[in-house]
Structure 1
Amino acid sequence: MIPQRRRVLVTTGLVLALGLTAAACGSSAGGSGTQVDQAGLQAAKDYLAQNTRNPTSIGMPELPARPPAGKKFIMLQVSPMAIAQRVANGMKAASGALDWNFTTINAGGTPAEAVRAFEAALAQNPDVICPCGTASSMVFKDQIAEAKRRGITVVQNVVADGPIDGVLANVAGAPQQELYGKLVAAEFIVGSAGTGKAAVFNLNSFPILEAFTKAFEAAVKQWCPACSVDYNNQQLSDVGTKTPANVVAYLQRHPDVKWTVFGNGDLALGVSTAVKTSGLQGVNIIGESPSKANLEAVKSGTETAWAGYPVEMMAWRTVDAVARHFAGAHVDEGVSIPLPGQIITKDTVAGLAVENGEYVAVTGYQNQFRHAWKVG
């Protein structure tokens, strides 16, 4: 695990996939020296080379038997960002493949609203509740205990929580984010020839994205002592509104910074247009979890690179964890396998596995899940 460097703020929030103002700049990682660490630069190049080709497998072992049909699955949807809807769509499709009934409840933007949403889910007495993207250990302690008492399965995804009593599994938790943070760091280091300065724009109200930032910083510190990283916290309400101007203002104050890093593709909404309009030159936009807009921007050259995060596959993985539970299989045998991903650049973007313009990593991943679940 990447060592903790900053206190993580715990509130509700999604992955996949995310807020306070850019005026708050955090501590720096990396050094101010000019000597390039050639061994570190080569290590970053090697890591990129290992994560460039298209994945071909979801990596899930087959279940011993088909999971029972007719389960009622409720997702608590906490974020208005597009990536949250992609997660919901993926979980709905996966539930349908198992002949399960899937619905969502809007969990709002505060812990109190999320608790009310969980209690509304409990009132429906479902088989499964997923407080997706919410730090359950801090928010839902009483509700999880009640679900356990009633025999309701609770599963979560894209949160930084460790094992929690009463929660079946945490899919795509902090270790997954650490892999993508390292991949984005390698792209920055290689692209800047081991001497770059990066500004990270992220939402520390979402602890899972803090895991990405910490992993990015740790890899830069390890491989590139001549590089530097500055952290800039954003608010969820700033995404697509104030964030583009915040990024431009930062770059104008720091003309030597040519790399901007985003913990989620939706965070970069409007940034490339704002940078172009400002007249700034040589700015690179990189990050993880690209949307279809980010992929198109890579094709056009207005954004540089993204670590592909298969959001919809992560949603199917969440359903898979519950399917394994109901089929009597070991849940960890699926949850412990990292999601596939790769670095996406202008050289590779045209050959990606995409559906409806979104990165999915593996062509036909749904059929691989159906095969593993013995549902045809």
Structure 2
Amino acid sequence: MNRGRFALATATLAGLALVAACGTSKTGTTSAIAGDNQAKAKEIIAPYEGKPGAFPITEKLSSPVPPGTRVAYVDNGNALVSLIFKLMQPAAAELGIELYAVRAGTSASGVQSAFGTVVQRRPAAVINTAIDPALWENQRKQLADAKIPVISLGTVASADSGLVQPNGGAAFERQGRLQAAWLVANNGKSFEAVLYEHNELAYAAAVKKGFESGLKELCPDCVARVVQIPITEVGNKAPERIVSDLQAHPNTRAVVFQSSAAATGLPAKLKVAGLKDVQIVGANPLPTNLQYLKDKQSTVELGADLKTLAWTAMDTAARLIVGQKLQPNVVSGEALVHQFLRPEDITFDPTRGFSAYPDVSDRFKALWQR
């Protein structure tokens, strides 16, 4: 794994260029999507339409966490990483855990320094969100030697890493596959789609794999391009880059996002450029993206329930601390709740974000017997 890449970083990647992948464009040609394939695509997305996927945790916590338990959270300052920390705090309080943040910088040395501090403080467990484990490999080994469990969200480290990844590679491959299936299910003819991804995010390769393989299986005549959007351009230059790409590839009919944060400001730019009838299939929407959807400025969002994920991470830490066996879906990296959201599904306040299970705290309190 390239040590120059780490999740949700803000390091400058000026050398990244727009890179297209997965075949050559079938300019101006379309064909009907096979009925069997379209039926299969509809079957794949059905469990996530109009309702969320299954609640991830069903087994009770076997025993209380010991008093005075401290858990470290490594926060690199990215908005999403910081948000997850805030969402975890009520869960930690309910468990009687002192959850504290260790601030990491935006550089590899800053990340290593932060994890070095974690090792020195010897907490009962550590939680990392999307910071590439390759950047803190030495500290990972030190934590493993000290038998301090590490819960890592949004990473795709190998099984022998010793990291527990509730939303690991399997969840992100599912994201890409679901996005591909949604497009096939909702289009009668073959199409060209572009996936905008961020190589800096540890799970980029998993989303790409799921999307490309899913589209190839369900629509062999469809074309998939993959284009890199530097994470440093999210929230500023990304819309201009996307518009330029679409203008250079006029046959593109569908835009797919690894993370919808890159679409911030995009609807206005598309309107000015006169780009109409482009399907926008997002994922992991922020409140701004949910507002776009409500206003019918995007097509569909694959929502990920971050609050439930945050509580799941704290639940996982508690079980590891008391020595309880984890559920198989947590071990396999599939404990992430997804739901497809259409404009008519935004009946809630978009500024509060998407929550598939508004009663998540009550559900976990029952499992924790609090």
The two structures have a TM-score, normalised by structure 1, of 0.88
Which residue does 1:324 correspond to in 2? 319
Deviation readout 1:114-149 (Å, 9 max, x if unpaired): 11110122233322222321232x222221222234
Distance 1:113 1:22, change over 3 A: closer
Distance 1:10 1:223, change over 3 A: farther
* Structure 1 pair 186–194 and aligned structure 2 pair: CA distance change class (3 A): farther
**Cα gap change, 1:10 to 1:212, in 2 (>3 Å):** farther
C-alpha distance in structure 1 between counterparts of 2:25 and 2:271, whole Å? 29
CA contact (8 A) 1:324 1:331 kept: yes
TM-aligned CA distance change 1:188 to 1:365, over 3 Å: same
1:275 and 2:270 are equivalent in the alignment: yes
Alpha-carbon contact 1:13-1:78 (below 8 Å) kept: no
1:258 matched residue in structure 2? 253
Q: Which residue of 1 aligns with 2:55?
A: 57
Match of 1:184 among 179, 200, 208: 179
Q: Is 1:68 equivalent to 2:63 in the alignment? A: no
> Which of 321, 340, 343 is residue 340 of structure 2 equivalent to?
343
Q: 1:357 & 1:230 partners in 2: Cα distance?
A: 33
TM-score of the two chains, using structure 2 as the length reference: 0.89
What secondary structure does 1:155 align onto? Answer: strand
Q: Distance in 2 between matches of 1:220 and 1:8?
A: 27
Aligned to 2:236: 241
Aligned to 2:112: 115
Write the mapping of 1:222-241 to structure 2, written as runs, cut at 5 A: 222-241=217-236
Q: Provide the rounded CA distance (Å) in 2 between the counterparts of 1:20 and 1:224.
A: 34
The amino acid across from 1:62 in the alignment is: K
Partner of 1:148: 144
The equivalent of 2:75 in structure 1 is 77
Change (3 A) 1:355 1:66: farther
Distance 1:108 1:29, change over 3 A: farther
Give the aligned partner of residue 198 of structure 1.
193
Whether the aligned pair in 2 keeps the contact of 1:20 and 1:236 (CA below 8 Å) is no
- What corresponds to 1:92 in structure 2? 89
- 1:185 Cα deviation after fit: 1.1
Gap change, CA 1:324 and 1:131, over 3 Å in 2: same
Structure 1, residues 16-42: CA drift from partner, whole Å, max 9, x if none?
xxx777732131259847332221112
- Provide the residue aligned with 1:287 in structure 2: 282
State how far apart, in whole Å, the 2-side matches of 1:8 and 1:124 are.
Answer: 28
Residue type of the alignment partner of 1:277: V
> Cα RMSD between the aligned structures?
2.5
Which one-letter code corresponds to 1:115 in the other structure? Q
Distance 2:183 2:16 in 1: 21
Say whether 1:124 aligns with 2:118. no
**Once the 2 structures are TM-superposed, how far is the Cα of residue 47 of structure 1 from its aligned partner?**
1.9
How does 1:207-218 map onto structure 2 within 5 Å? 207-218=202-213
In the alignment, is residue 298 of structure 1 matched against residue 293 of structure 2? yes
Deviates more, 1:95-104 or 1:24-33: 24-33
Structure 2: how far apart are the matches of 1:369 and 1:152?
Answer: 24
* 1:83 to partner: Cα distance: 2.1
Contact 2:57–2:327 (CA under 8 A) maintained in structure 1: no
Which ranges in structure 1 are unaligned for 5 or more consecutive residues?
Answer: 1-6
Q: Alpha carbons of 1:187 and 1:371: their partners in 2 closer, same or farther (altered >3 Å)?
A: same
- Distance in 2 (CA, whole Å) between partners of 1:213 and 1:271 is 21
Q: Does 1:161 pair with 2:157? A: yes
The one of 7, 20, 35 equivalent to 1:26 is 20
Q: Could you say what secondary structure the match of 1:171 adopts?
A: coil
Partner of 1:135: 132
Name the count of aligned residue pairs.
Answer: 362
1:10 Cα deviation after fit: 6.7
Flag the structure with more relative contact order, 1 or 2, with Cα contacts below 8 A and sequence separation at least 6: 1
Using the TM superposition, give the Cα deviation of residue 8 of structure 1 relative to its aligned residue in structure 2, in angstroms.
7.6
| CA deviation vs aligned residue, 1:45-73 (integer Å, no higher than 9, x gap) | 22222221323734331122222232111
Distance change >3 Å, CA 215–CA 120, structure 1 → 2: same
**Unpaired segments ≥5 residues, structure 2:** none
CA distance in 1, matches of 2:339, 2:239: 26
Identity of aligned residues (%): 21
Asked whether the 8 Å contact 1:30–1:217 carries over to 2, the reply is no
Q: Does the CA contact (< 8 Å) of 2:229 and 2:238 recur in 1?
A: yes
